[in-house]
Structure 1
Amino acid sequence: MVLLLAVVVSGAVSRMLPVAVPTPLVQIALGFVVGLATHLRVALDPELFMLLFLPPLLFLDGWRIPKDALFKDLSTVFELALGLVLLTVVGMGFLIHWMIPAMPLAVAFALAAVISPTDPIAVSAIAARVPIPKRMMHILEGESLLNDASGLVCLRVAIAAALTGSFSATGAALNFLWMAGAGIFVGVALTLAVTRTKAWVSRRFGEETGSQILISVLIPFGAYLIAEHVHASGILAAVAAGVTMSFAEISRQALAVTRMRRNSVWDTIQFAANGMIFVLLGEQLPEILSGLDQTVALTGHASPWWLALYVAAIMAGLAALRFGWVWVSFRITLLRRAPGRETGSSPPWRLVAAMSFAGVRGAITLAGVLTLPMVMGNGTPFPGRELAIFLATGVILSSLVLASIGLPLLLRGLTMPPEPSQQAAEDMARVAAAEAAIKTIERVQHALAEGRNDADVYAAAGARIMDGYRERIEGLSAGSDASQVARANEGIERELRLAAVRAERAEIMAIARERGLGSELAARLVRELDLLEVRYR
């Protein structure tokens, strides 16, 4: 309860501060205060931590990410999510082992694996006041969905090598393919089976909103647990389930009220889970810092400043690898998409630098490093575990601070390559929808009025509604100038409607306060006005 309260307070505190401080940093600071000021301690069970937080968050990311934007830059996403992760694991693994010989090479690879995935939630929070260009954010989101899985698969391979003392490249490759392929299959199959069964039951027996929402919450946990049971990637299973859910929803639609309430539930889950992860990280800091003497002793030094130097060196290595890989990846992509482009053309350095700074580490890194086993197979302590946890924590904090300072500076005034306008497609879809509505209104109007003496009432009502749709079709089908005027008029009308809705709601609440309306009726009327306001906005 205290940690959840810290999540609630963090949102208000981040808005009250005179300077722009990312909410994750505020949450870490509040968690640190909780860890210092109270005797409450959360003993993090890594497997339970992964199960509670990662499946719903990754499922939601896969569900909500724009699929057309993801597929458009799929090659770039794969280059970052797979190639960069493997390069980071190998390059940083050897660098960490070279800097700290006391840390076995397999453990160094494990640490490199957990610091390779990025966290788009932290990036979006950092850039809240300097919005990230949409295309850039879509690439970062797609990268994070895949590099979470690839990084954690590399982590498992490294832990197995540390525990057994042997490593097989062929075995590691086969293990990677099994974990990835089986994880994706489990996520897709489970989601399709559940959504089809749900749709069949809803068609025959009706739809109950609460059950529908609960099913959507259970799917990522089911996919994760089944995949883990067959030794596949539960992370990829949750991601695949989310992506499949978005396609399944198109063909098997839920009721409008179910979608609205489900979105509210998932927004709350996302806010609480993301906040709890960073608050928990802050809450663990006092215990991590209390063992600095023993941790630095593992490196063969006495001064804790050596740990800061190691974190700085790791950050520099990560930045160099990411900057170089992003530059090469973007250059290859630009040349591939424009064969006639002049030789020597390259992506803008600010864009490459912004993508490099956007490589913020967060929840996956914390969850991954906590999964390092406590002991070896023979019962001896796992070598370098506390040091790995401290270094990973230092990387998370450093990347958040550096990105919060550098990313807004790099993004300010940065323009991405122009995107083709979607206005024509939107207008076409609106016209088609309006025409379908007119045909349906005519059919329903005749069916309702058949055999009735007041058929003219139905005809007049249908005509009024169809006139509104015809005006929409005429405005969208006209020339560009007429369309712009129509959209301007629409904006003016929207502002007037919003003002009217606010006045209605204020009056209803005033009547309810004076006991002129019952609470149930007042709540229903306010709910209707809230839905109207959401629609107009």
Structure 2
Amino acid sequence: MEIISIILLLVFAVIVSGIVSRILPLPLPRPLFQIAIGAAIGMIADWRVTLDPELFFALFLPPLLFLDGWRIPREELFKDGKTVLELALGLVIFTVAGMGLFINWMIPSMPLPVAFALAAVLSPTDPIAVSAIAQRSPIPKRMMHILEGESLLNDASGLVCLRFAIAAALTGAFSIQAAFLNFLWVAIGGVAIGAGMTWAIGKAKSWISRRFGAEDGSQILISLLMPFAAYLAAEHFHCSGILAAVAAGLTMGFVEASGDLAATTRIRRNSVWDTIQFTANGIIFILLGEQLPMIVSGAAETVSTTGHHEPWWLIVYVIAINLGLAALRFLWVWLSFRLTLFRAGSETQTPNWRIVAAMSFAGVRGAITLAGIMTLPLAMSDGTAFPARDVAIFLAMGVIIVSLVVASLGLPMLLRGLEMPPEPSHEAEVDAARVAAAQAAIAAVERAQHDMARGRPDPDAYISVAARIMDAYRQRIEAREGNPEERTSLRHFEQIDAELRLAALKAERDEIYRRTRHGQLGSEAARKLVREIDLIEARYAVPA
């Protein structure tokens, strides 16, 4: 019962954090409120969560990385692919090497492999925390796409580096040649397993659904099991489960392009995944806060392992590591943007310092860093305690908190009026797709009306209804063809139409609920009617 109580308390704390972050008018992202709530729980409650590193890793990371890969705009990722790769791979290696040596120099008592392990978990950035900041201060779309692509890939590259660093700490040996060959096996095998399993599961699922039908619940559960299946299969073959989860997510985007899934299943599945993402990220930060009082209370003992006696030295280390990470990121981003994003043909422009600074501030550490640092082994191969584990965890937590606070305060100021280099507009592509889809719909209605009216006693009814449907599609086509003035006018009318329809749908729903409260309509019928209205409203409503 204690485990159940802990789980329920964590979920309740996630709910409270969302409410508090909206009530308090502070320019701080939700993760900071979750850390604070977790710390309050840790100080008040008489229980402590003992985190099993392997279980923590396998439980939280696969679904989060899978969802990031699944939902990332692939075209935007490929368009700025060079920039993303330079940040996700080059910057990770640069950070691991630079910060590993710096941390070992600053804290000589921390073995070099452990310092590299700490640097490895500090290298990935967290798009969820940046998104929370972006809700209060919008980030330019192109910058957000680059940050999302970077975080998707640097999660994998940073955690693979962590794996090698831990192995070196446990064995006391490290071979560049062996590490390179092992990296190829780990990386290529992880990607192949993740992509292959997702493709095979997707094909099998589609074949079964076409022959025997499908249930919404089963389809959703399959999507939930995919990241864990890819992760566990890759780990079984000693490949990277992290890369397998990322590859599975990216492949899922291609598999879904077949369009076999029912519309209602997609809507319900998206809601389930949004809830899982919100809950998992929230629990991670609340667990961070819950562990914080215990780690702070042991700061005196922890700092002694660094050769000092005053606990404030740990704060000095946290600030120094944050400054080092910021300096390395600023330098690398400036070089990367100069070589890719600001390069037009043979000419190279100097990147705007505000863009580089904003990208540097946006390098917030979060859930992946915490999940990674918690996977440090509790003991060495001979049973002795893993060296400097508590120090590494304290420093990682400190870096997460400081980076969140600094980004929350500094990023909105840097983003005010900031514009990224222009990117091609997709408006023409969207208009062309809408026109082509409307034309295909008109052709389908014309064919269907003849087939359905044949041999029926009321063929005129089919012709009348089909004409009304086709007129609506023709209006959609006219709204996206013709001269720019006509398109602007028609789109303005579309906006007015959407606003009026939303008002009408709200009135419909209110009336149904009123009749239900007064016993004039049954609850089952009310749910069906409200569901129909909700699906229609989803077409017109603007996301919050």
TM-score (norm: length of structure 1): 0.98
Which residue identity does 1:453 align to in structure 2?
Answer: P
Aligned to 1:416: 420
Aligned to 2:514: 510
Aligned to 1:431: 435
Query: How many angstroms apart in 1 are the aligned matches of 2:519 and 2:143?
Result: 53
Query: How many angstroms apart in 2 are the aligned matches of 1:127 and 1:461?
Result: 46
Which secondary structure state, in structure 1, belongs to the residue aligned with residue 130 of structure 2? helix
Which secondary structure state, in structure 2, belongs to the residue aligned with residue 381 of structure 1? coil
The alpha carbon displacement at 1:152 in A equals 1.1
The alpha carbon displacement at 1:157 in A equals 1.0
Q: Report if the CA contact (8 A) 1:199-1:252 is conserved.
A: no
Please list, as runs of the form range in 1=range in 2, the aligned pairs for 1:3-152 lying within 5 A after superposition: 3-152=10-159
Query: How many angstroms apart in 2 are the aligned matches of 1:364 and 1:455?
Result: 62
The alpha carbon displacement at 1:335 in A equals 5.4
Cα RMSD of the aligned pairs, angstroms, is 1.1
Q: Report if the CA contact (8 A) 1:295-1:386 is conserved.
A: yes
Aligned to 1:476: 480
Say yes or no: does 1:297 pair with 2:304: yes
Which residue identity does 1:524 align to in structure 2?
Answer: K
Give unpaired runs (5+ residues) of structure 1: none
Q: Report if the CA contact (8 A) 1:223-1:238 is conserved.
A: yes
Structure 1 outlier segments of 4+, above 3 Å: none
Give unpaired runs (5+ residues) of structure 2: 1-7
Aligned to 2:530: 526
Which secondary structure state, in structure 1, belongs to the residue aligned with residue 479 of structure 2? helix
The alpha carbon displacement at 1:492 in A equals 0.6
Aligned to 1:377: 381
Say yes or no: does 1:339 pair with 2:339: no
Which secondary structure state, in structure 2, belongs to the residue aligned with residue 177 of structure 1? helix
2:494 aligns with one of 461, 466, 490 = 490
Q: Report if the CA contact (8 A) 2:53-2:377 is conserved.
A: no
Which residue identity does 2:382 align to in structure 1?
Answer: N
2:287 aligns with one of 243, 259, 280 = 280
The alpha carbon displacement at 1:374 in A equals 1.6
Which residue identity does 2:415 align to in structure 1?
Answer: L
Query: How many angstroms apart in 1 are the aligned matches of 2:478 and 2:161?
Result: 57
Query: How many angstroms apart in 2 are the aligned matches of 1:300 and 1:474?
Result: 75
The alpha carbon displacement at 1:135 in A equals 0.9
Percentage identity across aligned positions?
66
Which residue identity does 1:311 align to in structure 2?
Answer: V
Structure 1 residues 334 and 521, CA, compared in 2 at 3 Å: closer, same or farther?
Answer: closer
Query: How many angstroms apart in 1 are the aligned matches of 2:383 and 2:438?
Result: 70
Say yes or no: does 1:467 pair with 2:471: yes
Aligned to 2:3: none
Say yes or no: does 1:166 pair with 2:173: yes
Residues 440-460 of structure 1, C-alpha deviations (whole Å, 9 max, x = no match) = 111110011112232111111
Which residue identity does 2:394 align to in structure 1?
Answer: F
Query: How many angstroms apart in 2 are the aligned matches of 1:73 and 1:460?
Result: 50
Which secondary structure state, in structure 2, belongs to the residue aligned with residue 476 of structure 1? coil
Higher mean alpha-carbon deviation, 66-75 vs 154-163, is at: 154-163
Which residue identity does 2:126 align to in structure 1?
Answer: D
1:446 aligns with one of 421, 443, 450 = 450
Q: Report if the CA contact (8 A) 1:195-1:252 is conserved.
A: no
The alpha carbon displacement at 1:40 in A equals 2.1
Which residue identity does 2:426 align to in structure 1?
Answer: Q
Query: How many angstroms apart in 2 are the aligned matches of 1:488 and 1:214?
Result: 42
Query: How many angstroms apart in 2 are the aligned matches of 1:410 and 1:174?
Result: 42
Aligned residues between the structures = 534
Say yes or no: does 1:218 pair with 2:222: no
Which secondary structure state, in structure 2, belongs to the residue aligned with residue 167 of structure 1? coil
Higher mean alpha-carbon deviation, 493-502 vs 364-373, is at: 364-373
Query: How many angstroms apart in 2 are the aligned matches of 1:152 and 1:421?
Result: 35
Query: How many angstroms apart in 2 are the aligned matches of 1:157 and 1:425?
Result: 45
Q: Report if the CA contact (8 A) 2:198-2:251 is conserved.
A: yes
The alpha carbon displacement at 1:347 in A equals 1.0
Q: Report if the CA contact (8 A) 1:14-1:20 is conserved.
A: no
